[in-house]
A and B are shown apart, each in its own frame.
Chain A
Amino acid sequence: MSKPILTIKNLTKKYGENVVFHDINLSVNEGDTIVIIGPSGTGKSTLLRCINLLTRSDAGEIWLDDKEITCKECDEDKVRQHIGMVFQNFLLFNHLTALENVRLGLTRVKHMNPADAQLKAMQELERVGLLDRAGHYPGQLSGGQQQRVAIARALAMDPRVMLFDEPTSALDPELIGEVLEVMRKLALEGMTMLVVTHEMGFAREVADRIVFLEKGSVVEEGSPNDLFYHPKNERTREFLWKITELYGKKDTEQGNG
């Protein structure tokens, strides 16, 4: 029996008069993979940034493991250790090798001793299949490899939840597969994941639940099967149709064939 690991209650974010999203409610069970989809500008990325407190929400609460993390006196640096985040543009530390990127948080945040940190960092690189690139600098890695290092860097902190903000949007088509493969593996290992993506193949195959966000609120949520084949809302149907046209052709063809 899985219990909610992350609960979002009536979360609202606005910039001045402009409401990014309002009254978002979301409950994520341990081990679940939730995929958030929706047109651009509907606050998907901002929602992820609010969850690991990179952006402050204006109202509502976020609970992680039965503890509120949005309280005034919450230590945001502590909270972020338990929430891994992967960005669209990788954001590796450019002056450090792949291994040093993964190790930095272990030595400087978790204060592990250097030998243990080294070992752990190498394990995490192996997990994303990049042990042989440990000594390479970000500038010497392909986009797909950089993103996998970024995933390893987040995983090294042993987070309770992993947030992915369009992790494949900045990648060349032939590099998307390797990143999705790593994410698929993580989902199978039971990592709790919140993924913003336009990769409908991934969503359909890996997601336990899909949340359709539009104009700052949840329009519909449900299992991939429900959303893809029996969407209740007209807007969901339209959006999925459009996005499958654009991105998902290959998947549909594979599905049919």
Chain B
Amino acid sequence: MVSWFNIFREYLPSFLQGAAVTLELTAVGLLIGFVLGLGLAVARTYGPKWLRVIAIGYLELFRGTPLLVQLFLIYYGLPSLGLTLSQTLSAYLALGLNSAAYQAEYFRGAIQSIGESQMTAGRAIGLSRWKTIWYVILPQALRLVIPAWSNEPISLLKTTAVVFLIAVQDLMAKAKRAATDTYDPISSYLAVAVVYLVMVFILNEVLKYLERKSRIPGFEMESKKT
């Protein structure tokens, strides 16, 4: 127990550096995944047939293969096709492309739950199809999606740990370093687990706040608690 705390204290600056990198990876991956995922969901729901086929193909590909394989393909594989990306850039790309596939499915579920009638209402006042999607469907879908979508930032934050395998200096890499230096893997990884836990806790609070803020009066999905 003493060694655990000593390692935690001694390596805290290093862990915090790693945690910052982990947060960065999560944020960038989440953002790429959000934009691309929303595009994929809209394409799959409202797009012409060929676009739907592309979107479905993308989802199958990225959800059907391990993230680690995707990461290695991007970092080690792309150079042979003449495209060399830095470690960090490879990590961003792999996390973003992978997350997009999962986020797309959350968004699609929310869009479908809005139903065809809101589209009819938008078209009836003269809004075009795309304007209705933008001004009517998506604002509602993005609110509805929050509870389910909240899994993604938390899951992604922990998933980023795989990038230490291409030597990105994230929290996991720092943990491995501490373990090698001190010959005390149990204490090192436990210390880092605590840091992950704290980050997830804070992230969860932020997401809950977001959900409360975006609530539409009179449109609550859950029944009022008594």
Residues of A with Cβ closer than 8 Å to B?
A: 52, 54, 77-78, 80-81, 84-85, 87, 89, 91-95, 104-105, 108-109, 136-141, 153-154, 157
- B151 contacts chain A at the CB level, 8 A cutoff: no
Cβ A95 vs Cβ B139 within 8 A: yes
- B182 contacts chain A at the CB level, 8 A cutoff: no
Cβ B126 vs Cβ A80 within 8 A: yes
Cβ A91 vs Cβ B118 within 8 A: yes
Binds A, one of B7-15, B47-55, B88-96, B127-135: B127-135
- B64 contacts chain A at the CB level, 8 A cutoff: no
Residues of B with Cβ closer than 8 Å to A?
A: 117-118, 120-128, 131, 135-136, 139-140, 143, 216-220
Contacts of B216 in A (CB 8 A): 94-95, 137, 139
Contacts of A105 in B (CB 8 A): 125-127
Known interface pairs A91-B117, A157-B126; 5 further A-B residue pairs with C-beta atoms within 8 A, sorted by A's residue number: A80-B126, A91-B118, A91-B120, A109-B127, A141-B218
Cβ A108 vs Cβ B124 within 8 A: no
Contacts of A85 in B (CB 8 A): 124
Nearest residue in A to B124 (C-beta to C-beta)?
Answer: A85
Residue among B117, B118, B123, B125 facing the most chain A CB atoms (10 A cut-off)? B125
Residue among B124, B135, B136, B220 facing the most chain A CB atoms (10 A cut-off)? B124
The 5 residue pairs across chains A and B that have the minimum distance between CB atoms: A139-B218, A81-B126, A91-B121, A140-B218, A105-B125
* The one of A77, A87, A94, A141 that contacts B120, using a Cβ cutoff of 8 Å: A87
Taken together as a complex, chains A and B put the C-alpha atoms of A80 and B121 apart, in Å, by 11
Residue among A93, A95, A136, A141 facing the most chain B CB atoms (10 A cut-off)? A95
Q: B207 to nearest A CB, angstroms? A: 20
Nearest residue in A to B220 (C-beta to C-beta)?
Answer: A139
12 cross-chain CB contacts under 8 A: A52-B124, A80-B125, A92-B121, A95-B143, A95-B216, A95-B219, A104-B135, A105-B125, A137-B218, A139-B217, A139-B219, A157-B125
Nearest residue in B to A107 (C-beta to C-beta)?
Answer: B135
Cβ A108 vs Cβ B135 within 8 A: yes
Contacts of B131 in A (CB 8 A): 108-109
Q: A175 to nearest B CB, angstroms? A: 17
Taken together as a complex, chains A and B put the C-alpha atoms of A80 and B129 apart, in Å, by 13
Given contacts A95-B143, A137-B218, contact A109 B126 (CB under 8 A): yes
Taken together as a complex, chains A and B put the C-alpha atoms of A87 and B217 apart, in Å, by 23
